[in-house]
Structure 1
Amino acid sequence: MENFHTFLNRYLSNWKAANLDFMENTIDDAFQGIEIREGITSTHKKEASVTGWSNAFNYFEDKDMEWILSPISILPLNENEMMAIIRATMTLEGKLIDTSNLFFQTFSSKNGEWKLIRTYEETGVY
């Protein structure tokens, strides 16, 4: 089984590369997500998460944009689960944007693969 740190590096590289197939395959079918955007809480499942990634990747596809992904902490939750806290921001046309999103992502080792099972996201963090 791939160790979590190696997997996380691969996950972040595929995020930066806008690899929708990788992101979709990494999200577990039983995925649960919570997002806080402008003070409003919403929940979503795998299908909506994949749609969100697809929309973001498509929106920025022809723009001068680069993801800046900074792992803040990696925490073991139990013998099969790890949480990665990731700050995600970007540059647009060479300029760093003012805000970022903070992701608390829980991954579980299932059949020798790491799968994203839960996420909590705070958007528009300064």
Structure 2
Amino acid sequence: MDHTFRQFLDTYLDVWRTSSLSELKDLISIDYKAREITGGEIVDFGYEESIKGWEQSFKFVQENNAQWVLNEISIFPLRVAETLVILSATMVINGMCLETANLFFQTFKKNNIGDWKLVRSYIEAGIPNVNLSLVQS
């Protein structure tokens, strides 16, 4: 794995854990495209909608004194400057972990000035944690 990608991914995860919207905006490509599946419903969205979604999530975390629980499941180099990462994300609120998590398939690409950016996501929302524990074992 490209050592610059590992450094980028660690930064990305730290930014997520600290709910820093201003820093996250810099890590997502303006051309970002995503698809989220929630309860069988498909929603496609881009950069602006993504930022609004992150803003709502980060606000919820801060207002509820919650903590993100992020698990790196797998990393796949796709091309020379493109890497797919599979992550799960849930929250702990008042010491209790939510019963569900979201499963993220996120593609990161190095741009023409050498910076890594999140370019695509496929998200399965509301997955029971017990199902994800089988994947993470």
Which bracket does the TM-score occupy, shorter chain normalised? over 0.9
For structure 2, the 5+ residue unaligned runs are: 129-137
Task: Give the alignment's TM-score, normalised by structure 1.
Answer: 0.96
Deviation of the 1:7 alpha carbon: 0.9
Deviation of the 1:6 alpha carbon: 1.2
Distance (whole Å) between structure 1 residues aligned to residue 92 and residue 61 of structure 2? 11
Distance (whole Å) between structure 1 residues aligned to residue 29 and residue 11 of structure 2? 17
Deviation of the 1:3 alpha carbon: 1.1
- Of 106, 116, 119, the residue aligned with 2:118 is 116
Distance (whole Å) between structure 2 residues aligned to residue 80 and residue 55 of structure 1? 31
Aligned-residue CA RMSD (Å):
1.2
Amino acid at match of 2:5: F
Residues 64 and 94 in structure 1, CA contact (< 8 A), matched pair in contact too: no
Distance (whole Å) between structure 1 residues aligned to residue 62 and residue 70 of structure 2? 17
Higher relative contact order (CA 8 A, sep 6+): 1
Deviation of the 1:64 alpha carbon: 2.5
Deviation of the 1:2 alpha carbon: 6.2
Amino acid at match of 1:47: E
CA deviations over 1:60-107 (Å, ceiling 9, x no partner): 212121100000001000001001100101111001110000000000
Distance (whole Å) between structure 2 residues aligned to residue 24 and residue 56 of structure 1? 14
Residues 89 and 101 in structure 1, CA contact (< 8 A), matched pair in contact too: yes
Match of 2:13 in 1: 12
Cα distance change on mapping 1:11 and 1:117 into 2, 3 Å: same
Distance (whole Å) between structure 1 residues aligned to residue 80 and residue 101 of structure 2? 31
Match of 2:49 in 1: 48
CA deviations over 1:12-31 (Å, ceiling 9, x no partner): 01101001011111111111
How many pairs does the alignment contain? 126
Amino acid at match of 1:120: Y
Match of 1:95 in 2: 96
Match of 1:32 in 2: 33
Distance (whole Å) between structure 1 residues aligned to residue 88 and residue 35 of structure 2? 16
